[in-house]
Amino acid sequence: MCINTKHVTNIKVKFKFKIFLLLGMLLLTGYGTRAQFILPENFNKPKAEANTGQKDANDVQGDVFINIKPGARNGVFKNADDIIYNLKVTNNYTVSQQGVLTCFVTTDENQPVYLDSVKVNMGKNSINHYRFKINASQPGFYKIGFAFHLTYYDDTVKRVFGLKPLLLTTETRKPADFDSFWQSTLDTLKTVNPQYKVTLQPALSVNNKKVYLVEMHSWGNAVIRGWLSIPNERDKKIAVKYRLPGYVVKAEHSVDDDDFAVFNINVRGNGNSADAIDTHGEYNLYNLENRDTYVYRSVYMDCVRGLDFLASHADMGLDTAKIMVDGASQGGTLVIALAALDKRVKIVTCEVPLYADFRKALEITKLDPKSQTPVGMIAKYQRTHPNFTNEKLFKVWDYYDPLNFAPMVKCPVLMGIGLLDQFCPPRCSFVLYNQLKNKNNEIWASPDKTHEVDGLYYTYQYLWFQDLLRLP
């Protein structure tokens, strides 16, 4: 399968055996070999029970199975002329069904793009095929739905597809004093004595690993904590996987990785660092109206302080020249900010990055007033605080938007996204990705996933940073 970036068509690898292994896995699982990105075709096959509103419906039993195949296996199209969807519909009812199948497409901001309907006449226990060629022209992401209104079945199946997403751009609004603000912040952090405390946890040290509780003083002298796991059997120095947490996600110790030392940090308000700050259950709203005291200023610095810890503990067998940083959701934003602010980061993997292209994400999220996502919480705050306008919000958030950090990231980045993600719209993730400059950057999209990526991504992730870090 082809792996593409903005600059190259096929990644040149030296670990041929591992790539052959991965390709073998792809072939065994039925994935195609020609696609713009490494994106598995794991489309769900929805089914629904009988609609009981018809004549003799109580006596009619069956299922309808829908298999949706886009012309591009990954749901990401290179050319507008190639946007084709093929549907295989299996009617397992013991009676025939008639009705209408409607295909509708909108932009990710709900602007109508395409509408077409076909009459349906399905025999009992039959397999039926339908094909739609979609008219869309502008680079971006589109919502596509297939609505079935049949004799005994009524349902709508929804997907998302992309068109030329590597062409997506946006106007960046980096504040004039952005760099000086963050340099001053870093300088202030350096004045805080970290007072590192590392405590072996015998009860947690299983699977041939030693697990340590790590404590340190960070921004504002708050105490934050994390878990360091080191394999007992290793080379003299071992590469480090530094994991940054999702939104109010409790990071636990890890004993499953034999090839890396793993440091899972809990930034303030998370896990065993929950006592470092009380956000009253409104984490990303804490001091939202004040640039200097907004919660993410201290959170970004907690991530830097964790890196300080790793860099200062080579005596534990850590290879401080080989630190890779990984994060998903909120952690996806944190890894971009950290790699921009600190060049000790050598490689980044970033999944479903929350807050990517925050301005556009806010626009899309506001289309759903009931949204309970972190961006939705900010939108709700604005509704309940009408004087806190977009202008006032962005005067704060422009200092924290990962879009403004992305051009500063010099190391390679692997990004994974889900095309059905409502927390992190795929348009916003691609706009963020397109701001990254390293020629070794890669992006992986999972067409049937929401706020996650498919399992095969993690296999490739391992091989990717194993090669870039020149690991045995």
**How many domains, in total, are found in the chain?**
2
| 8 pLDDT above the threshold of 50 | no
Res 38: pLDDT: 32
Tokens of 209: 């690993």
Res 423: pLDDT: 87
When pLDDT is cut at 50, 70 and 90, the band that residue 71 belongs to is very high
Is residue 238 domain-resident? yes
Q: Which residues are CB-contacts of 377 (< 8 A; sequence separation ≥ 6)? A: 282, 284, 285
Closest to 353 in 3D by CA, of 376, 378, 335: 335
Res 347: pLDDT: 95
Same domain for 126 and 94? yes
Which residue of the set 254, 273, 329, 446 is catalytic?
329
Compute the distance between CA of residue 191 and CA of residue 305 in angstroms, rounded to an integer.
12
Res 33: pLDDT: 25
Residue 148 sits in a domain whose CATH number is: 2.60.40.10
Least confident of 31-45, 110-124, 317-331: 31-45
Tokens of 63: 């299922």
User: Per the annotation, does 247 bind a ligand?
Assistant: yes
- Strand-pair category, 154-163 with 140-150: antiparallel
Same domain for 77 and 142? yes
When pLDDT is cut at 50, 70 and 90, the band that residue 52 belongs to is very low
Res 104: pLDDT: 98
Distances (CA, A) of 86 to 26, 71, 73, 132: 22, 7, 11, 7
Name the phi and psi angles at 43, rounded to 5: -55, 135
Res 58: pLDDT: 57
Compute the distance between CA of residue 275 and CA of residue 224 in angstroms, rounded to an integer.
9
Across 24-38, 207-221, 446-460, the highest mean pLDDT is recorded for: 207-221
| 136 pLDDT above the threshold of 50 | yes
- Rounded to a whole number, what is the distance in angstroms from the first to the last CA of the chain? 24
Strand partners, 213: 199, 227
Is residue 110 domain-resident? yes
Is residue 259 domain-resident? yes
Sheet-wide strand order for 84-91: 47-48, 64-70, 84-91, 126-133
Same domain for 277 and 163? no
- Give the HSE-up count for residue 470: Cα atoms under 13 Å, Cβ half-sphere: 4
Is residue 9 domain-resident? no
- Give the rounded percent of residues in the chain with a pLDDT score beyond 90: 77
Same domain for 184 and 103? no
Could you list the residue range(s) of the whole structural domain that residue 414 is in? 178-468
| 184 pLDDT above the threshold of 50 | yes
Same domain for 193 and 133? no
Is residue 6 domain-resident? no
Res 25: pLDDT: 41
Q: Hunting for tokens 């109206």 — which residue is that? A: 289
Of the residues 167, 202, 235, which one is the last residue of a structural domain?
A: 167
pLDDT mean over 172-176: 94
Is residue 19 domain-resident? no
96 catalytic, yes or no? no
C-beta of residue 163 within 8 angstroms of C-beta of residue 140: yes
Compute the distance between CA of residue 377 and CA of residue 281 in angstroms, rounded to an integer.
11
The amino acid present at 122, given as its one-letter code, is: M
The 3-state DSSP class for residue 142 equals: strand
Of the residues 147, 167, 187, which one is the last residue of a structural domain?
A: 167
| 24 pLDDT above the threshold of 80 | no
Burial class (CB in 10 A: 0-12, 13-18, 19+), 302: buried
- Residues 262-293: b if buried by 16+ CB within 10 A, e if exposed: bbbbbbbbbbbbeebbeeeeebbbbebeebee
Same domain for 464 and 360? yes
Q: Which residues are CB-contacts of 48 (< 8 A; sequence separation ≥ 6)? A: 63, 64, 153, 154, 155
Closest to 73 in 3D by CA, of 38, 46, 108, 106: 38
Closest to 238 in 3D by CA, of 335, 318, 140: 318
Res 167: pLDDT: 96
pLDDT mean over 66-75: 91
Mean pLDDT score of the chain, rounded to an integer?
A: 88
Same domain for 395 and 308? yes
Of the residues 111, 140, 167, which one is the last residue of a structural domain?
A: 167
329 catalytic, yes or no? yes
C-beta of residue 306 within 8 angstroms of C-beta of residue 372: no
When pLDDT is cut at 50, 70 and 90, the band that residue 35 belongs to is very low
Compute the distance between CA of residue 9 and CA of residue 327 in angstroms, rounded to an integer.
26
DSSP states of 31-59 as a string?
Answer: --S--SS---------EEPPPTTSTTGGG
pLDDT mean over 85-106: 96
Q: Which residues are CB-contacts of 372 (< 8 A; sequence separation ≥ 6)? A: none
Res 385: pLDDT: 97
When pLDDT is cut at 50, 70 and 90, the band that residue 257 belongs to is confident
Higher pLDDT, 21 or 78: 78
Same domain for 279 and 352? yes
Same domain for 87 and 64? yes
pLDDT mean over 269-298: 96
Res 56: pLDDT: 56
258-270 pLDDT, tens digit each: 889 999 999 999 9
Same domain for 148 and 254? no
Same domain for 217 and 84? no
Is residue 14 domain-resident? no
149 catalytic, yes or no? no
| 22 pLDDT above the threshold of 50 | no
Which residue of the set 108, 326, 398, 421 is catalytic?
421
| 29 pLDDT above the threshold of 50 | no
Strand partners, 261: 240
Same domain for 217 and 324? yes
| 40 pLDDT above the threshold of 70 | no
pLDDT mean over 19-46: 35
Which residue of the set 273, 319, 451, 454 is catalytic?
451
Strand partners, 69: 86
Res 59: pLDDT: 67
pLDDT mean over 280-287: 94
Res 338: pLDDT: 99
Tokens of 140: 């971006």
Is residue 155 domain-resident? yes
The 3-state DSSP class for residue 278 equals: coil
Residue 198 sits in a domain whose CATH number is: 3.40.50.1820
420-434 pLDDT, tens digit each: 998 889 999 999 999
